[in-house]
Structure 1
Amino acid sequence: MLLTIWRHGQAGSAASDRVRELTAQGRADIGLGVQRFAQQCEKRGLAPPDHILFSEWVRTRQTAGILASFFPDAPCTACTALVPGRYPADVDNELDARWSAGPAQHLLLVSHQPLVSALVDHYLGQPGRVAPLLPGGLATLQLDVFASGCGSLCFSAQPPEYEAVV
């Protein structure tokens, strides 16, 4: 299956971290990023996302909303395993529970640092193989199971240009 791990877009400040909203630049970055992401998937013969999971916090919900508008057939669902303070093992357990009967073809996760980069390192089994994801950054992996070291990198991309890196 394909797994894309996407960090939320640039967010402003707020009284509580949970309610920080995307800035205009953050929305623009995600808008460009999703277009370039879809182009890379098509160019590489990769299926588009068929399910989007996101952290319940405002900026990830907003990021997921932008992504979902580009992939309207992909259900978009909040997931507590993606909130700050969680670990790759929490995500593995959640994904195993949700997709034990058969995984999605291409799952897209929207979350926060340090979890997004920890997930990339976890699935690749190579810390630092992909640069830490900036706000709006993403990595698309191919994996057979949700476990450490079981993935390979398809590509990663970071704002502002979202040039794909292998």
Structure 2
Amino acid sequence: MHLIIMRHGEAGWHTNDQQRELTETGRRDVADVAAHLAESPYRPRAIWCSPLLRAQQTAAIVAEVINCPIEEKSFITPDDDPGLCLDALLEQPPASPLLIVSHMPLVGALATLLVDAHRRGLPFMPGEAVVLDMPVVGPGCADMKTQFLP
């Protein structure tokens, strides 16, 4: 399975955390990363996204470029346990490649859990995406294949 983990694009701070929107720079950066994903061998077939607005906007931009469905998942918000996402990946094998659009610190903790089997957390820039190759879904079972930077 190929899993792509992406942090939402740059968002403004003019409102509460739930309603933060992407900036124009954030929208452009996400569109650039989406274009690279569309041309890559890891083109997503499905997207899971956080219910927060900036992640939904990021997922919508990517989905428009690559033409794939989006599913909102309540367990991938910033402070959620990455183990919940791992459990969901184990319970129902999703389409591969799957793109998860979420937030720091979850994206860093999830990537680290899958690659190194701990939860310290890799840093992610806004709009950054990493591709993991997982022959088996589980802690420490993934290899990082590539990354896409805005």
Q: TM-score normalised to the size of structure 2? A: 0.91
Note if 1:68 corresponds to 2:63. yes
* Paired AA for residue 48 in structure 2: L
Q: In the TM superposition, what is the alpha-carbon distance from 1:107 to its structure 2 partner?
A: 0.4
Q: Which residue of 2 aligns with 1:77?
A: 71
Assess if the C-alpha contact under 8 Å between 1:51 and 1:108 holds in 2. Answer: yes
Instruction: Name which of 100, 124, 146 aligns with 1:109.
Output: 100
Assess if the C-alpha contact under 8 Å between 1:6 and 1:110 holds in 2. Answer: yes
* Paired AA for residue 81 in structure 2: Y
Q: TM-score normalised to the size of structure 1? A: 0.83
SS at match of 1:34: helix
Q: In the TM superposition, what is the alpha-carbon distance from 1:47 to its structure 2 partner?
A: 4.3
Rounded Cα–Cα distance in structure 2 between residues aligned with 1:131 and 1:92: 17
Gaps of 5+ in 1: 160-166
Assess if the C-alpha contact under 8 Å between 1:81 and 1:94 holds in 2. Answer: no
CA pair 147-126 structure 1, distance change in 2 beyond 3 A = closer
Q: In the TM superposition, what is the alpha-carbon distance from 1:146 to its structure 2 partner?
A: 2.7
CA RMSD in angstroms comes to 1.9
* Paired AA for residue 83 in structure 1: T
Gaps of 5+ in 2: none
Note if 1:35 corresponds to 2:49. no
Note if 1:144 corresponds to 2:96. no
Matching of residues 118-129 of structure 1 within 5 Å: 118-125=109-116
Q: Which residue of 2 aligns with 1:16?
A: 16
Instruction: Name which of 80, 84, 90 aligns with 1:96.
Output: 90
Q: In the TM superposition, what is the alpha-carbon distance from 1:95 to its structure 2 partner?
A: 2.0
Rounded Cα–Cα distance in structure 1 between residues aligned with 2:88 and 2:136: 13
Q: How many residues align?
A: 149
Q: Percent identity?
A: 34
Rounded Cα–Cα distance in structure 2 between residues aligned with 1:2 and 1:136: 19
Q: Which residue of 1 aligns with 2:52?
A: 57
Q: In the TM superposition, what is the alpha-carbon distance from 1:149 to its structure 2 partner?
A: 0.5
Assess if the C-alpha contact under 8 Å between 2:12 and 2:23 holds in 1. Answer: yes
Q: In the TM superposition, what is the alpha-carbon distance from 1:144 to its structure 2 partner?
A: 2.4
Assess if the C-alpha contact under 8 Å between 2:127 and 2:149 holds in 1. Answer: yes
Q: In the TM superposition, what is the alpha-carbon distance from 1:131 to its structure 2 partner?
A: 5.5
Q: Which residue of 1 aligns with 2:2?
A: 2
* Paired AA for residue 125 in structure 2: L
Q: In the TM superposition, what is the alpha-carbon distance from 1:21 to its structure 2 partner?
A: 0.2
Instruction: Name which of 61, 80, 104 aligns with 1:86.
Output: 80
Rounded Cα–Cα distance in structure 2 between residues aligned with 1:95 and 1:80: 14
SS at match of 1:15: coil
Q: In the TM superposition, what is the alpha-carbon distance from 1:15 to its structure 2 partner?
A: 3.0
